[in-house]
Structure 1
Amino acid sequence: MSFEEVLQLRNQVGMKAYQRMTSGKRAPSTKKPEKRQWPSKDRPLEISAKKPVSFLRQVVPVKKKASTLIVQKQLKKSRNVDQQTKLQQLLKRMTQQEVAHRKRQKERERDLAFKKEQRELAKQGKKPFYLKKSDKQKWELAEKYKELKRSGKLESFLSKKRKRNAAKDKRKLPFRKNL
């Protein structure tokens, strides 16, 4: 083979392939053996982006929540004391979660309404007004009092609050045995 033919072959095949052919050795494989590791239950599932995803793939398994009515029925049926206490705790926790969820939802809706109102005012050319944290707390407290007044529980709430404050004040007073 002439030198020109060798150069032409090297250009056609490529440098690495040419070196492999001339040396007679195989190039060490750069690919590592694949180790199969099972993902932990908390880690998100890794799926190749190159493969098309089926249309009805369940991305995250959804745990069904036991409804409050089912727990109440089980509580009425159960005769075991330990099981009754567990069910009562579960029922109490579920109701508290529902109340907290409703409260967060209401607060989110209130914030969104306020922001929407401010955006509309800004579109009209007025300067936007942003609530400070203290103003927001006062606003929430005023709404709480309105809700208590509407439901008729304001007097009992205020009397309990007075008793708590009186107990705090009593603790702060200096204590004397002999007067």
Structure 2
Amino acid sequence: MYKALTDEEAIRQYLPDQSNQCFEILYKRYVGKVYQRCLSMTHDTEKAEDFTHDIFIKVFNKLEAFEQRSSFSTWLYSVSFNYCADQLRIAKRFSTTSLDFNNEWDKAESMDEQLHEETLQLMQQAMTSLSAKERSLLRLKYEDGLSIDEIAQTLDLTPSAVKMRLKRSRDKIQALCEHNFVN
């Protein structure tokens, strides 16, 4: 019964009251041809299937706008071609902006290593500009890992004096590093 109707007759007869039946008729008639069109353009079976489904949804949503200036099949193939071309153009635009993450990662690691090395050199320069007592105090705290109380006992100072000297030494290093970094 459905085969006897042309596409345009099926649209006129079934679209207003039985839209699901109209969709089923047109889908069964053209799904294979639309899929082949998509496959010939994408060379990817999954994309072709996805595009085919998207095209039929798009066509069915715009079926009332079909003006019958050409046959339904011509209109459907035109929509199919344009949809595939648009999707491929979009995919191409995104693929050209993709990054080589391994290469970018290597560059970032290299830059981190270089920054670490420069920071160490800067710290060494700043340390040499401190007095022997200031260097000794910082080494006891940060290299040897002694607590404030242990440093106070070792140097025969009060804990608050140790804290103040550590703070002044750190401030001096920070100022020297900032000065060298700016220059």
TM-score (norm 1): 0.24
TM-score (norm 2): 0.24
Looking at both structures, which has the greater relative contact order when contacts are Cα pairs under 8 Å and sequence separation is at least 6?
2
